Amino acid sequence: MHADPKGVLTGVHFIDGDHACCEGTLAAGARFAAGYPITPSTEVVERFASRIPTIGGIFIQMEDELAASIAIQGAVWGGAKAFTVTSGPGFSLMMEHIGYAAITETPCVFIDVQRGGPSTGLPTLPAQADMMQARWGSHGDYGIVALCPNSPQECFDLAVTAFNLSEEFRVPVMMMLDECVGHMTEKVVIPEAESIAVTPRRYTKRPPAEYRPFEPMVDLVPEMVKAGDGYRFHVTGLTHDERGYPSMHGDTQDRMVRRLQDKLKPLANGRALCETEDLDDAEVVVVSYEITSRVAQRALQAARRQGIRAGKFRLVSAWPFPSARIRELAGRVKAFVVPELNLGQMALEVERAAQGKARTISVSHAGGTVHDPDTILEAILEAAR
C-alpha cells in the first residue's frame, strides 16, 4: 500500500526536524494527534494543527501528557493512525501509557525530542539521556522500538518507518530526536505519494465468531479489529489470554510477556536499522546516534587521516538493540567508542553485547551542547593504542 496523497507534501523543502517529523506522520497516514506543549518538541504538533484541518483529521491539545498518551490509543482502537509528541518531563508522564500500548499491542508512535534532564533540566538545549527510559521507562517486561534520526530528512523518512513498524509489529514506536536534530533546518525531499510505502493495519478477515483478539499469528503478532465493527471485543491492561480476558495465572503471564518481546526479534537481528562505514578492516568502531553521529563523523574523518582504521556504526534503530551485529564486530575489533549526550547509556548496551571481547569506551557528555569532535578523536586514538 502507498501513502494517501492528501497527506503528502511532495517537493523540496527547507524545514527543521520537528516540522519534517510532522510531515512524515502525515505521509504515513496519521490523522489523529494529541499533545501537550513542551519545548523543544511543540513545533511538531503546531504544524500538525495547522495542516490537519484541510487534510481531514484531528489534533487535540489535551490537559496533560497522561491524557495525550492515552487519547491516541483510544483513537487507534477507533481506527486511526495516531501519535503524540513530547520532551523531558512530558515523556516521564507518558511512561504508564507506553506500557499500556505494549500490553494491549496498540500500534502508535511517541515522538520524544530530547532535552537535558533530570526534571525540568535544560528545556531548550539538547541531550540524549532518555534512551534507557524509552526502553525501560514503564514497569514490567515488554518490547518497544526506538528510531534515532540524525537529520531533518531522516525525521521525515523515519516517521514513516515508525508508523510502518508500529503496524507490522503492533508495538509502540519511539521517535528519539534530540533538540539539535529537532531544531536543525536542512533540505528535506518529500517524494510522490506513490513511492512512499505505508503498512496497513493488520485487520482480521475472520468473522466475529472465529476471531480471538490476542491470538498470535505465525510471526507472533495478533490481528486487530476496531470498535464499531461488531466484534464486541475486550481490551485490558491486565494480563490477558488469547481472548483478551484477564487471567491471573503465571503461565498466561509468561506466555504473554515473552511474546511481547519475542515478536520483535526480527528487528533485533536481521532487520536492525543501522548505517555503517569502513567496518571491514576496522580496529576501532564508533557507535553513535542522533546528533552525536554527525559530530562523530568529523572525528572519524580526522582519525582516518591519521591512519587509524576507524569504522562507523550508527544506530538508526536503537531498540531493539542490534546485539548480534555488535557481538560479531567485537570478535574482530579492538574497541568501541561510544559518544553520547548522556553519562553512558547506550555504551552499557554496547559493552553488554561485546561480552568482553572488545573494550567499550564511553565518551560521556551531560548535554546542553554537543561534543567537541576532538574529544571523540582522542578517544579513538586512545582506543587504537
Partner 1 sequence: MNETTLEIPCEIPEDARNPVEPFLRMDRMPHIWCAGCGIGTTVNCFTRALLDSKANLDKVAVVSGIGCTGRVAGYARLDSFHTTHGRAIPFATGLKLANPELQVVVYSGDGDLFAIGGNHFIHAARRNMDLKVICVNNMIYAMTGGQTAPTTPGTAITATAPYGVSEPTFNLASLAEAAGASYVARWTTYHVKQLARSMEEVLKRKGFCFIEVLSPCPTLYQRRNKMGDGLDAMKDYKAKSKVRNGAPTGECALSMTGEIVVGKFVDRERPDYLELLRAQMTETLGDRYAEPEVSCCSEG
Q: Summarize as ranges the residues that interact with partner 1 (CB under 8 A).
A: 1, 6, 29, 31-32, 34, 53-58, 60, 62-64, 66-68, 70-82, 96-97, 100, 200-203, 226-238, 245-246
Closer of 212 and 294 to partner 1 (Cβ): 212
DSSP string, 251-290: HHHHHHHHHHHHTTHHHHTTT--EEEES-TT-SEEEEE-H
Strand partners, 314: 275, 288
Q: Which residues contact 337 (CB under 8 A, 6 or more apart)?
A: 284, 285, 286, 287, 361, 363, 376, 379, 380, 383
Question: Shortest distance, CB of residue 238 to partner 1, whole angstroms?
Answer: 7
Closer of 176 and 196 to partner 1 (Cβ): 196
Closer of 236 and 253 to partner 1 (Cβ): 236
Closer of 81 and 183 to partner 1 (Cβ): 81
Cell of 93: 508522564
Closer of 79 and 123 to partner 1 (Cβ): 79
Cell of 74: 483510544
Distance between CA 117 and CA 104 in Å, rounded?
30
Please tell me whether the peptide bond between 246 and the residue prior to it is cis, using omega within 30 degrees of 0: no
Question: Shortest distance, CB of residue 52 to partner 1, whole angstroms?
Answer: 8
Question: Shortest distance, CB of residue 348 to partner 1, whole angstroms?
Answer: 29
Q: Report the 10 Å Cβ neighbour count for 293.
A: 25
Cell of 383: 582506543
Question: Shortest distance, CB of residue 379 to partner 1, whole angstroms?
Answer: 43
Closer of 100 and 313 to partner 1 (Cβ): 100
Question: Shortest distance, CB of residue 61 to partner 1, whole angstroms?
Answer: 10
Cell of 371: 561534543
- Kindly state the helix (H) or strand (E) to which residue 91 belongs, with its residue range: helix 88-93
Q: Are strands 11-16 and 185-190 parallel, antiparallel or unpaired?
A: antiparallel
Q: How far is CA 77 from the centre of its chain?
A: 21
Cell of 184: 536543525
Question: Shortest distance, CB of residue 211 to partner 1, whole angstroms?
Answer: 13
Residue 169's closest CA among 149, 148, 146, 153? 146
Question: Shortest distance, CB of residue 200 to partner 1, whole angstroms?
Answer: 4
Question: Shortest distance, CB of residue 182 to partner 1, whole angstroms?
Answer: 25
Question: Shortest distance, CB of residue 142 to partner 1, whole angstroms?
Answer: 14
Report CA torsion sign: 3, 8, 14, 18.
negative
Q: Are strands 82-86 and 108-116 parallel, antiparallel or unpaired?
A: parallel
Closer of 260 and 295 to partner 1 (Cβ): 260
Distance between CA 48 and CA 50 in Å, rounded?
5
With beta carbons less than 8 A apart as the criterion, state whether 89 and 129 touch.
no
Question: Shortest distance, CB of residue 191 to partner 1, whole angstroms?
Answer: 20
Closer of 54 and 119 to partner 1 (Cβ): 54
Closer of 205 and 305 to partner 1 (Cβ): 205
Closer of 14 and 203 to partner 1 (Cβ): 203
